[in-house]
Structure 1
Amino acid sequence: MAGGQRRRRAVGRVLLPALLLGLCWRAAAERLRYIIPEELSRGSLVGPLARDLGLSPADLPARKLRLASAAKKQLQYFTVSGENGNLYVNERLDREEMCGDATSCSVTFDALVQNPLNVFHVEVAIQDVNDNAPRFLPDNFQLEINELTSPGARFFLGMAEDADVGSNSLQGYELEANGYFAVEVKESPDGSKFAELVLRRTLDREREPSLRLVLTALDGGDPPRSGTAQLCINVTDANDNAPVFEQDRYHASLREDAPPGSTVLNVSASDADAGTNARIAYGFGKMPAKVFKKFVVDAESGTITLQEALDFEETRSFSLAVEARDGGGLVAHSKVEIEVLDVNDNAPEVTLTLVSSPVPEDAPTGTVIAFLNVNDLDSDENGEVSCELLGEAPLSLVKSSGGSYKVVTASALDREQAAEHRVTVVARDRGRPALSSSTVLVVPRSAEAGYLVAKVVAVDADAGRNAWLSYELVQASEPALFRVGLHSGEVRTARAVSERDAAKQRLVAVVKDHGQPALSATATLHVVLAESLQEALPELSERAAGADSPAELQFYLVLALALLSALFLLSVALAVLARLRRAGPPAVLRCLGAQRLSVAGAAFPADFCEGTLPYSYNLCVASGRAVAEAAWLPPPLPSLPAEEILGGESSGKRSPNSSAGAGEPPADPGAPQVCKPAQSLSFSLP
């Protein structure tokens, strides 16, 4: 028994180092590093990526080798060949543009292969070449030195600028030979080299009122490059006191969202001299050109002001060289160190790489669906990103190395129950306020009432009642189609989606707190109604261009309907007026108006009306009027009795009950008459 245990321990001691060695070898194999010089032309070979990954050209079609990175800019520099798997330069590499003055410069990205899925980290180091010569900005220096200045006095000349690094960077300065001055190279705490002019012999203004010298800056390249500047020295009369700054070095901090015009700080210097020799003018010394663009100093007050917006992600600190020059030409120098404070002004960037689409319904739990890379340009908490999935789908996120995530199946899939699943990937940083980015929401047209479209999330830094939040929709393309939870912020469909609903929907949600006064913020959601992702793609591509089209279309439709309604009412009114004008005043108005007797003219029997044009006359008999005021219509033909006309008789005889003949007034004008209802009489003309 004891012997068996000793043998098992011995085997374990042998296998454990082998296992650890295999794990170390695999970790090393999953990270590749190439070193290339800058300024390589497009198409230059970086390295045999596929071969270094252990892939043969025959494996490439099945393994689908490709590049991926959270920072999209990293992928524009390199490309991988689908034929041989080699890594090539895709565009010109300028190390100074890519990495600035950093001592090391590299581009990192991931190489992905499928079947099975493997992720390899690739790093390409960019070596500096001596492609930049030192240069002075400005390239002309003006110095005023008093003739009583003692030998050994030093004057700051500034530094040349060289974009290269290492041995190719600025190494020293040389001054044109002369009998008064020499140049010495000094190194600042940050490692940069600047030139100081040293007076070797006393000046005599009467003999040499001015000197013009050439200052040369040299780098360490092979062959070395150089840049020159003109140095003009004016010798002035005695001024025995130079200005003195209150501090040798100033420190200040400024938020990156500070607006142009913000005051950074004030510098102050004093001079023990009097008169013009004590008048101090402030200015900047030798600095990079981009620093001159960012800041300006007032010559009289010494106030340093921001004149261009800052970006923490671009430059995190600035070093300003400030000069105080008195009226006699003496200059004092001081440094101003400005720290840029990060503000959460960058939303996370999400790069989605689909691994397999479509997914078979018999795929086991944990199958990788997509690969996510998340990147936030901010720093510290502002750059710490967390991801989550919104939506009712059997998917989950698994955190990978760095800012990578895998989208995997969380449970078994059933195509008969759901043919497709849509979720929203939200990446949120920890800044205040937190910034997030998300994809466009796609809602299937088969969605029933209560379908969860999205969830609006807001955060209030206050406490108590001031932090109670409530949500509501203030604008929607279809107000009756969507609703938002008062306290949950869940945007759901209020009814089933129909074919009449527009494909693109725009929702504006507002969140309010319960403070006094209440503060609010809004969020805009763009929703696409589609049966499938392929149907939604055209809508997604035109979302930015046509975001307000439904509202404009609705406005023009309402305007057109109003104009058509107005034209219709106007036409009806004109038709009624025209008919009333042809028909004359209404019968009732004629009865109540002037007492006139209108008697119809002659009429023909009905037997003679065929094929003729009918004419109508209104008959109204009013009482209380004199016969002389009666209006008569002279009949063009012999008239028939009114009874025959009214009764439709065609006998051609006059009625014995007729009280008056045609064209004659009534027998008894003074007899009372009764106004009868108006009747319509018709006769025909041959």
Structure 2
Amino acid sequence: METGRKLALRQRQVLFFFFLLRLSLASARELKRYSVVEEREGRSFITNLVNDLGLGPLELSKRGAKVISKGNKLHLQLDQETGDLLLTEKVDREELCGHTEPCLLRFQVLLDNPLDIIQAELEVTDINDHSPVFLDKEIQLKISESSLPGTTFPLKNAQDMDVGQNGIDNYIVSSNSYFHVLTRKRSDGKKYPELVLDTSLDREEEAELGLILTAKDGGSPPRSGTTKVHIEVLDINDNAPQFEQLYYRVQVPEDSPVGFLIVTVSATDKDIGVNGEISYSLFQASDDITKTFSIHPLTGELRLKEQLDFEKTQSYEVNVEARDAGTFSGKCTILTQVMDVNDHAPEIILSAFTNPIPENLPETMVAVFSVSDLDSGENGKIKCSMQDDLPFFLKPSGENFYTLLTHKALDRESRAEYNITITVTDLGTPRLTTQHTITVQVSDINDNAPAFTQTSYTLFVQENNSPALHIGTISATDSDSGSNAHITYSLLSTHNPQLALASLISINANNGQLFALRALDYESLQTFQFHVGATDQGSPALSSQALVHIIVLDANDNAPFVLYPLQNASAPCTELLPRAAEPGYLVTKVVAVDQDSGQNAWLSFQLLKATEPGMFSVWAHNGEVRTSRLLSERDAPKHRLVLLVKDNGDPPCSASVTLHVLLVDGFSQPYLPLPEVAHDPVQDEDMLTLYLVIALASVSSLFLLSVLLFVGVSLCRRARAASLGGFSVPEGHFPGHLVDVSGAGTLSQSYQYEVCLKGNSETGEFKFLKPILPNFQDYPLGPELGENSNCRNDWELGIQLK
């Protein structure tokens, strides 16, 4: 009947537990409790968290669900694909919890994005897998023959590792004529046997008794353990020792040293002699008691054998027996309460850690960790902090959990690594502190474009350079790292269709070195510019550009060219010189040009040969040929002059020009009959002057008419060029009727001349020059130089023949 009531009560307790469990599940998922029977094999199923937490089928794996146990000792395993919570190994309730009931394993389920921490408990229920065991194989009792029936004799209890109904239920003794056993329960719930005397003993009839004491537990099926009880019947000793107090209450700090005196108990015996001599001993002491305490048998001083640990055991119940030399003994109980001291520093357990952290992302989770302290009260309260000068902050995320977050977007270029020291301090006295340093790397993203060392570059290259000549290097830097900082260089397309950049310049994509692909010709191209780009290999790629100016330096590779007098072997130029010319008379002017520039185009003139030396002189700077003296009738009528035109280059280049001067007494005169009068020399001189004036007027009128005709033709050509969409000069050879004159020679500006000859182009005489393109220096001149000759006389000039 009593067993039925216990079973019904147990069923009601189980129903009530499940009712509370369902109620807790319905209220905000504050605590989940599961149960498992001990000794279950590993990989045993406990529950399905997907169903319990109301999550989607794939939400556990997406949110990186983890099971975290105290002390990081994992007895549980989570299958993220199915959501099943499994045991990782066989669990032994006695090993985990000892006699603690219920046996609870606390754990947390951690979910990321968003962060959620579910508190849960796993109760390991007991099975009857241990039999009761007596510490002593034989119990010795000495009982006086004067003991009255009904006298009780406490016996040492058996120990059972199981708990609850699987623990010790009752004691029985083997059949005998004197004793029976009663099962008693102490204040801590443990049961112990008392031997009850049924009839008086007679030492003379039976001096010793042997009994078998059996301890049974309440399991199904029950288990039992036995020990022998040896009873020695003594002579009469009618006074038992008596303690001054039946209960002693003491408090002992857990850091008390070994040998610390806890309390001194005292008992007295009214007997005298041997029957009055008292000895003290620990009574019914468990292994923990005997390892922790010792009592002096004569003085009754209770001392520590080993240091206490409040976190392991908070209190002890020590039973002390005072026994006299006879059969009597007295009992007292010492209730020892262990006082906590702050002897455990806080602990930090890192649950999740993200490293490296991408830059430019605000409020990123870096780590999740829990803090704990084995102490209690104020000694177990913890506060958590970190450095103030870092862009991170701590956010409480549940009971004793914290999340480390970035306070703002990080910048790897400013700082690529952070050492974060997390400090946890308890509130005990003295305060204990634990520090944990987390090193966080900042990963790079492509947020910096390459930057050139200069916004523009000016490079110089000497004309007639060798192909593939290295002419300069551009350089850019990138504050990013890795592939985000790997720069490639390229030439950007130009908007000038006349500049074939791809045939002129190439760039090394890896180091930015610029090379001239072919020989450059200053006379064709003095300067040009283009843009270069620097692009990194990030995603997306970033780029920048810089302007490059290329200036072609002139080399003295062109000899002077004589525009007037035009040199023609079949029809040499002949100048007419009146014999009456005064010294310094301008015979002609040699006009020459040089396609080079600067001092390479500074021309000087000198007279090399003359038929009659000293008659003519040439001005070195302007090429004017003048008479040096008065002419006479004895001077030869025809003279040949050879002039040298030389530039100022290093080495200089030169050209020669040949002039033929014909001395005449006067220009062509019409025949006029004269009266037969006496010849008057003065009148002849006046007539010659008249003829000269008439000749000069005729020549001037003809020159003016030619100029007007030239202006009209030029205007017509310009109108026609404007109607065709403007003038453009293609790259390559000049038109055949044009001659380029550099502005650095004897002429003050750059001109193009159209040369007109009378008669055919081979034998005609030079007539006049006229400029048609005053700003022609802006356009390329002549063909590209295919050789590195220092001076060239093979001019390619455009001459229009009339």
With the length of structure 2 as denominator, give the TM-score of the two structures. 0.50
Counterparts in 2 of 1:297 and 1:225: CA distance versus 1, 3 Å: same
Aligned counterpart, 1:68: 68
Aligned counterpart, 2:630: none
Does residue 336 (structure 1) correspond to residue 330 (structure 2)? The answer is no
- Look up the SS of the partner of 1:423 in the other structure: strand
Q: 5 Å matches for 1:38-57?
A: 38-55=38-55
The C-alpha deviation readout for 1:226-278, integer Å capped at 9, x for no partner, is 11111111001110101111111112221111121111111111100111000
Counterparts in 2 of 1:360 and 1:26: CA distance versus 1, 3 Å: farther
Counterparts in 2 of 1:140 and 1:28: CA distance versus 1, 3 Å: farther
Task: Name the CA distance, whole Å, in 1 between partners of 2:252 and 2:389.
Answer: 45
Kept in 2, the 8 Å contact 1:35–1:126? The answer is: yes
Task: Name the CA distance, whole Å, in 1 between partners of 2:26 and 2:269.
Answer: 69
Kept in 2, the 8 Å contact 1:256–1:309? The answer is: yes
* Paired letter, 2:436: T
Does residue 235 (structure 1) correspond to residue 225 (structure 2)? The answer is no
Q: 5 Å matches for 1:207-356?
A: 207-356=205-354
Query: CA shift at 1:322, angstroms?
Result: 0.8
Task: Name the CA distance, whole Å, in 1 between partners of 2:329 and 2:356.
Answer: 73
Query: CA shift at 1:383, angstroms?
Result: 0.7
* Paired letter, 1:137: L
Identify the match of residue 400 of structure 1 among 370, 392, 397. 397
Query: CA shift at 1:72, angstroms?
Result: 1.7
Task: Name the CA distance, whole Å, in 1 between partners of 2:212 and 2:437.
Answer: 63
The C-alpha deviation readout for 1:94-143, integer Å capped at 9, x for no partner, is 21222222221211211122233322222211111111211222232111
* Paired letter, 1:197: L
Query: CA shift at 1:57, angstroms?
Result: 5.2
Query: CA shift at 1:443, angstroms?
Result: 11
Counterparts in 2 of 1:355 and 1:113: CA distance versus 1, 3 Å: farther
- Look up the SS of the partner of 1:39 in the other structure: coil
Does residue 390 (structure 1) correspond to residue 387 (structure 2)? The answer is yes
* Paired letter, 1:72: G
Larger Cα-atom Rg: 2
* Structure 1 residue runs without a partner (length 5+): 1-22, 445-686
- Look up the SS of the partner of 1:422 in the other structure: strand
Aligned counterpart, 2:175: 177
Counterparts in 2 of 1:443 and 1:122: CA distance versus 1, 3 Å: closer
Kept in 1, the 8 Å contact 2:33–2:123? The answer is: yes
Higher strand content, 1 or 2 = 2
- Look up the SS of the partner of 2:199 in the other structure: coil
Task: Name the CA distance, whole Å, in 2 between partners of 1:28 and 1:442.
Answer: 36
Kept in 1, the 8 Å contact 2:275–2:324? The answer is: yes
Q: 5 Å matches for 1:392-431?
A: 392-431=389-428
Task: Name the CA distance, whole Å, in 2 between partners of 1:229 and 1:198.
Answer: 17
Query: CA shift at 1:82, angstroms?
Result: 4.0
Kept in 2, the 8 Å contact 1:110–1:119? The answer is: yes
- Look up the SS of the partner of 1:35 in the other structure: strand
- Look up the SS of the partner of 2:417 in the other structure: coil
Kept in 2, the 8 Å contact 1:376–1:383? The answer is: yes
Aligned counterpart, 2:190: 192
Aligned counterpart, 2:142: 144
Kept in 1, the 8 Å contact 2:212–2:229? The answer is: yes
* Paired letter, 1:62: K
Structure 1 range deviating more: 410-419 or 196-205? 410-419
Does residue 126 (structure 1) correspond to residue 144 (structure 2)? The answer is no
Query: CA shift at 1:61, angstroms?
Result: 4.0
- Look up the SS of the partner of 2:153 in the other structure: strand
Kept in 2, the 8 Å contact 1:391–1:422? The answer is: no
Kept in 1, the 8 Å contact 2:420–2:437? The answer is: no
Kept in 2, the 8 Å contact 1:346–1:376? The answer is: yes
Counterparts in 2 of 1:231 and 1:124: CA distance versus 1, 3 Å: same
Task: Name the CA distance, whole Å, in 1 between partners of 2:305 and 2:117.
Answer: 46
Kept in 2, the 8 Å contact 1:392–1:423? The answer is: no
Kept in 1, the 8 Å contact 2:46–2:85? The answer is: yes
Query: CA shift at 1:353, angstroms?
Result: 2.6
Task: Name the CA distance, whole Å, in 2 between partners of 1:136 and 1:259.
Answer: 32
Query: CA shift at 1:24, angstroms?
Result: 8.9
Task: Name the CA distance, whole Å, in 1 between partners of 2:171 and 2:32.
Answer: 41
* Paired letter, 2:47: G
**Count of equivalent residues:** 419
Query: CA shift at 1:283, angstroms?
Result: 0.8
Identify the match of residue 439 of structure 1 among 436, 441, 444. 436
Query: CA shift at 1:222, angstroms?
Result: 0.3
The C-alpha deviation readout for 1:163-212, integer Å capped at 9, x for no partner, is 22211111111011111111111222222222111111111001110101
Counterparts in 2 of 1:132 and 1:443: CA distance versus 1, 3 Å: closer
Aligned counterpart, 1:157: 155
Kept in 1, the 8 Å contact 2:417–2:440? The answer is: no
The C-alpha deviation readout for 1:649-669, integer Å capped at 9, x for no partner, is xxxxxxxxxxxxxxxxxxxxx
Task: Name the CA distance, whole Å, in 2 between partners of 1:182 and 1:149.
Answer: 15
Q: 5 Å matches for 1:552-563?
A: none
* Paired letter, 1:48: N
Aligned counterpart, 2:546: none
Structure 1 range deviating more: 116-125 or 274-283? 116-125
* Paired letter, 2:53: L
Task: Name the CA distance, whole Å, in 2 between partners of 1:105 and 1:273.
Answer: 50
Counterparts in 2 of 1:378 and 1:68: CA distance versus 1, 3 Å: same
Kept in 1, the 8 Å contact 2:214–2:224? The answer is: yes
Kept in 1, the 8 Å contact 2:418–2:440? The answer is: no
Task: Name the CA distance, whole Å, in 1 between partners of 2:30 and 2:137.
Answer: 50
Query: CA shift at 1:26, angstroms?
Result: 7.3
* Paired letter, 1:284: L
- Look up the SS of the partner of 2:94 in the other structure: helix
Structure 1 range deviating more: 303-312 or 186-195? 186-195
Task: Name the CA distance, whole Å, in 1 between partners of 2:227 and 2:302.
Answer: 27
Identify the match of residue 371 of structure 1 among 360, 368, 372. 368
Kept in 2, the 8 Å contact 1:297–1:303? The answer is: yes
* Structure 2 residue runs without a partner (length 5+): 1-22, 442-802
Task: Name the CA distance, whole Å, in 2 between partners of 1:436 and 1:57.
Answer: 43
Aligned counterpart, 1:504: none
Task: Name the CA distance, whole Å, in 1 between partners of 2:79 and 2:440.
Answer: 38
The C-alpha deviation readout for 1:511-546, integer Å capped at 9, x for no partner, is xxxxxxxxxxxxxxxxxxxxxxxxxxxxxxxxxxxx
Query: CA shift at 1:344, angstroms?
Result: 1.0
Task: Name the CA distance, whole Å, in 2 between partners of 1:234 and 1:143.
Answer: 6
Kept in 2, the 8 Å contact 1:424–1:439? The answer is: yes
Aligned counterpart, 1:593: none
- Look up the SS of the partner of 1:276 in the other structure: helix
Task: Name the CA distance, whole Å, in 1 between partners of 2:26 and 2:406.
Answer: 27
Aligned counterpart, 1:168: 166
Kept in 1, the 8 Å contact 2:420–2:440? The answer is: no
The C-alpha deviation readout for 1:453-497, integer Å capped at 9, x for no partner, is xxxxxxxxxxxxxxxxxxxxxxxxxxxxxxxxxxxxxxxxxxxxx
